[in-house]
Amino acid sequence: MDSAPSARKITRPRPKGPKQLWVSVIVLWLIVAGTAAYVLIRFRNAGPWIVPDAAKLLPNPVPVTSSSLTAARSLFLDNCAHCHGDRGHGDGPDAALYKPRPASLVQALRAPSITDGEIFWKITAGRRLMPGFKNQLSDEQRWQLVNLLRTFPESPG
């Protein structure tokens, strides 16, 4: 009998080349980095949103007038409604894409102790998925938005 076939069977598989090793290292790294990024975004600052006392006490310099509310309305529709919904109920078209879901501003603002300064600070600073608007909107525009949020009706629609 010819011994060639069994000799072929015991041929060892080629040892992994350096290229395959690099691929494994990169894939592993991507998995670790991806998990870390997810955990950071999902759970960082997960507790109550702490606003400095000095910011809470800032008075709103923008008077509530119908023209400033109209201006704020269009700012809100352009910058905020896709997440928070047209009337701030957290039901904008993109809301489902976010975890945690964008806050219902109506619910947040119903807290009796919340000050204009606090809302202004949150719009300015942002947190997690809520972008900060410090650079996109002027101080006046952000105060106008605070006034607008105060006018949102409690029930949606």
User: What are the residues binding ligand HEC (CB under 6 A)?
Assistant: 49, 79-80, 83-84, 98, 100, 102-103, 105, 108, 119, 122-123, 127-131, 133, 145
CB 11 → ligand HEC: shortest distance, Å? 58
In the chain, the DSSP E strands lie at none
CB 73 → ligand HEC: shortest distance, Å? 12
CA distance 68 to 153: 18
The smaller minimum CB distance to ligand HEC, of residues 6 and 113, is found at 113
The smaller minimum CB distance to ligand HEC, of residues 62 and 123, is found at 123
Comparing every residue's Cβ against ligand HEC, the nearest one is 80
The smaller minimum CB distance to ligand HEC, of residues 13 and 59, is found at 59
The 3-state DSSP composition of the chain as helix, strand, coil percent (nearest 5) reads: 55, 0, 45
DSSP letters, 15-49, are: PPPHHHHHHHHHHHHHHHHHHHHHHHHHHTT-S--
